[in-house]
């Protein structure tokens, strides 16, 4: 199975059934740590919307959910600079904060966010990402939880896009050189 987007080919990589299972397992781990902490989950848009929705459905304790929007990719090209397009406009002082990311690749986005958020004096900050690439190695201490580790391939689906497309796919696909 494959999808073609703007002349580029992506082949099926991770099926939805496996995605559901790893997200459930991740939610169980997170609940153990966060159950009594009334956490504020901060979802990094756009890519994390689908992961966050499924993860949050499994979190059965009191929590709040908020959204921010970042951008660092153009097509498959990574840009050094991470832009904050929609910032956080709420208090997190003294709170347990959990940043929810779609994918940690170089780790730049997460690193930038952690720096920004620490200045707001939360009680503690955790990070959860759906996918985790080994490129992020330099920042691995910043990642508390991940659902799946993948190699350095460019992937799309389940919230992740290529040129703005493919976010709606329920499985994950990876780029194939032709």
Active site members: 105
Nearer to ligand IMP by Cβ, of 58 and 111: the residue is 111
Which of 41, 47, 68, 173 is close enough to bind ligand IMP by CB under 6 A?
Answer: 47
Using CB under 6 A as the binding criterion, the count of chain residues that bind ligand IMP stands at 18
Q: Which residues contact 169 (CB under 8 A, 6 or more apart)?
A: 3, 156, 157, 158
Task: Give the shortest CB-65-to-ligand IMP separation in angstroms.
Answer: 18
Other C-beta atoms closer than 10 Å to the C-beta of 71 total: 16
Q: Which residues contact 15 (CB under 8 A, 6 or more apart)?
A: 171
Task: Give the shortest CB-176-to-ligand IMP separation in angstroms.
Answer: 13
d(CA 81, CA 18): 33
What is the footprint of ligand IMP within residues 50-79 (CB under 6 A)? 72-73, 78
The verdict on 169 binding ligand IMP (CB under 6 A) reads: no
DSSP lists the bridge partners of residue 60 as none
The verdict on 101 binding ligand IMP (CB under 6 A) reads: yes
Contact of 26 with 57, CB cutoff 8 Å:
no
Q: Residue numbers of the site for ligand IMP (CB under 6 A)?
A: 47, 72-73, 78, 82, 101-109, 154-156, 160
């Amino acid at each position: 199975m494959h999808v073609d987007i703007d002349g580029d080919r992506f082949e099926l990589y991770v099926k939805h059934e496996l995605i559901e299972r790893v997200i459930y397992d991740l939610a169980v781990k997170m609940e153990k740590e966060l159950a009594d902490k009334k956490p504020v989950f901060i979802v990094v848009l756009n890519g994390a919307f689908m992961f966050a929705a499924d993860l949050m459905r499994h979190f059965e304790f009191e929590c709040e959910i908020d959204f921010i929007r970042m951008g660092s990719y153009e097509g498959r090209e990574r840009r050094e600079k991470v832009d904050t397009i929609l910032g956080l406009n709420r208090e997190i002082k003294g709170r347990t904060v959990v940043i929810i990311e779609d994918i940690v690749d170089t780790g730049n986005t997460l690193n930038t966010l952690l720096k920004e958020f620490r200045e707001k004096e939360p009680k503690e900050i955790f990070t959860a990402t759906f996918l985790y690439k080994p490129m992020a190695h330099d920042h691995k201490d910043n990642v508390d939880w991940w659902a799946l580790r993948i190699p350095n391939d460019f992937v799309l689906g389940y919230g992740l896009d290529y040129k703005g497309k493919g976010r709606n796919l329920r499985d994950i696909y990876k780029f194939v050189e032709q």
